[in-house]
Amino acid sequence: MTRSTVARKLGSRSEDWRARISAQRQSGVSVKQFCARQGLTEQSFYYWRKRLQTPPSMRFALVEAEPRRGPAEHAALELVLTTGERLRIGAGVDATTLQQVLEALRA
């Protein structure tokens, strides 16, 4: 199974659980009652509720530890992470390399 297939399945599963969690909130019944009616385990419900409430952590690997070679205006794109770190991407970047870097940031 490819990484994109796994990501799609996980994304679909996440959306399904978001809908279930929202439905439980709107139903006015307890989690236990809701799960019993829907054929779900409470453990799964609580697992997904916690997982979806917690923002995904962003891991960052410093690839090059040299001082900056020039000002930010030489970069075609600048990605600013929530941690404050910046990833400057030049106009001539190889698309495959950029895709690999972005996938690593999502992992």
pLDDT band at 74 (very low <50, low <70, confident <90, very high): low
With 0-12 CB in 10 A as exposed, 13-18 as middle and 19+ as buried, what is 93? middle
**pLDDT for residue 65 is more than 50:** no
Domains of the chain by residue range: 3-53, 56-107
**pLDDT for residue 77 is more than 90:** no
More confident residue, 31 or 93: 31
Residue 89, pLDDT score:
80
Which structure tokens are listed for 95? 């698309």
Residue type, 54: T
Q: What is the pTM of this model?
A: 0.45
Question: How far is CA 10 from each of CA 18, 47, 55, 63, 66, rounded to the nearest angstrom?
Answer: 12, 14, 15, 28, 37
**Strand, helix or coil at 45?**
helix
pLDDT digits (tens, 9 = 90+) for 90-99: 777 888 888 8
Question: How far is CA 55 from each of CA 31, 50, 52, 71, 87, rounded to the nearest angstrom?
Answer: 22, 10, 7, 32, 21
Residue 25, pLDDT score:
93
pLDDT digits (tens, 9 = 90+) for 37-50: 999 999 999 999 99
CA distance 32 to 56: 27
Share of the chain above pLDDT 90, in %: 32
77 phi and psi, to 5 degrees? -145, 140
**pLDDT for residue 27 is more than 70:** yes
